[in-house]
């Protein structure tokens, strides 16, 4: 029997499974996801110094930014550490807990631009691939954008500049196959595109679930926001 709980991170809700003492097989992880995630965004398997992330469809994803921040908060909560370093399928991650829960994100990789019918933008990988489109966030037609999600096998982010250094963002996530409350790697990809254009070093992004901050310093991207536990401890049965 495993123990876990639900956590929320700026609009994303995750099942967090404490797997520090017992490592699960991929099949066991998939079964727990399909049984307990139940409409939430995904599951975080907290292994010893390693984060394994699964989307709600039961498939592993290389990385999740808000999932990584939740991993950091979980270790802070259980082990009383304010600095947490761990690995993921996208590489090493460094996290910190102070007023916000922040992580150093995988370095954004620019793959080029795209143009398909009425839409154009940039392709950026932050652990996982993202399409970044500047547009009207009040009038997003996900049905019209859905072919892009499958054509590029990527998440889709639409953003609007509210004022200098302040953006509105909406994200359609693969694996969830719908719009989510927030997406940390999506926010980082949007911030990278915006800062590349403007030269700024810090951005606040208003997602459906709340505000995220992304800052760039010393050649790295840092994602910050809130995290909280939203359930009692659960006994999870396979």
Beta bridge partners of 17: 4, 45
Q: How far is CA 36 from CA 19, 33, 174, 238, in A?
A: 15, 6, 19, 10
Reported as a pLDDT band with limits 50, 70 and 90, residue 16 is very high
Q: Which of 56, 183, 195, 200 is catalytic?
A: 183
Q: Give the model's pLDDT for residue 195.
A: 97
Contact 145, 119 (CB under 8 A): yes
Q: Residue 11 above 90 pLDDT?
A: no
Dihedral sign for Cα 113, 176, 169, 119, please: positive
Q: Residue 1 above 90 pLDDT?
A: no
Contact 19, 27 (CB under 8 A): no
Q: Confirm whether 56 is a catalytic residue.
A: no
Q: Confirm whether 64 is a catalytic residue.
A: yes
Q: How far is CA 67 from CA 9, 79, 100, 219, in A?
A: 8, 18, 14, 22
What does pLDDT average to over the chain?
A: 96
Q: Residue 238 above 90 pLDDT?
A: no
Q: Give me the phi and psi of 58, to 5 degrees please.
A: 90, 5
pLDDT tens sequence across 171-223: 999 999 999 999 999 999 999 999 999 999 999 999 999 999 999 998 899 99
Q: Which residue has the higher pLDDT, 193 or 238?
A: 193
pLDDT tens sequence across 81-115: 999 999 999 999 999 999 999 999 999 999 999 99
User: Rounded to 5, what percent of the chain is helix, strand, coil?
Assistant: 20, 50, 30
Q: Between β-strands 12-18 and 42-47, what pairing exists: parallel, antiparallel or unpaired?
A: parallel
Q: Give the model's pLDDT for residue 117.
A: 84
Percent of the chain clearing pLDDT 90 (strictly above): 96
Q: Classify each residue of 48-70 as buried b or exposed e, where b means 16 or more C-beta atoms within 10 Å of its C-beta.
A: eebbbbbbbebebbebbbbbbbb
In angstroms, the CA 132 to CA 171 distance is 9
Q: Cβ atoms within 10 A of the Cβ of 238, count? A: 12
Helix axes 65-79, 184-198, angle to 10 degrees: 120
pLDDT tens sequence across 37-61: 998 999 999 999 999 999 999 999 9
Contact residues for 199 (Cβ-Cβ < 8 A; gap 6+) = none
Contact residues for 177 (Cβ-Cβ < 8 A; gap 6+) = 57
Q: What is the pTM of this model?
A: 0.91
Q: Which of 64, 195, 200, 230 is catalytic?
A: 64
């Amino acid at each position: 029997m495993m123990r876990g709980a639900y956590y929320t991170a700026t609009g994303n809700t995750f099942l967090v499974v404490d797997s520090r003492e017992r490592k699960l097989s991929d099949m066991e992880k998939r079964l727990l996801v399909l049984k307990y995630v139940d409409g939430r965004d995904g599951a975080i398997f907290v292994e010893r110094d390693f984060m394994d992330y699964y989307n709600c469809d039961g498939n592993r994803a290389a990385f999740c930014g808000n999932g990584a921040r939740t991993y950091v908060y979980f270790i802070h909560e259980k082990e009383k550490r304010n600095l947490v370093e761990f690995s993921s399928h996208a590489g090493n991650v460094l996290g910190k807990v102070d007023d916000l829960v922040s992580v150093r994100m995988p370095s954004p990789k620019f793959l080029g631009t795209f143009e398909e019918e009425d839409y154009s933008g940039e392709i950026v990988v932050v652990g996982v691939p993202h399409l970044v489109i500047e547009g009207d966030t009040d009038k997003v037609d996900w049905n019209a954008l859905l072919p892009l999600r499958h054509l590029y096998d990527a998440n889709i982010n639409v953003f609007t500049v509210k004022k200098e250094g302040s953006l509105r963002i909406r994200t359609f996530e693969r694996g969830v196959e719908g719009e989510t409350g927030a997406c940390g790697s999506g926010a980082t990809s949007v911030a990278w595109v915006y800062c590349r254009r403007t030269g700024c070093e810090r951005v606040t992004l208003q997602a459906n679930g709340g505000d995220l901050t992304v800052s760039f310093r010393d050649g790295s991207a840092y994602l910050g926001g809130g995290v909280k536990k939203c359930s009692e401890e659960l006994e999870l049965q396979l």
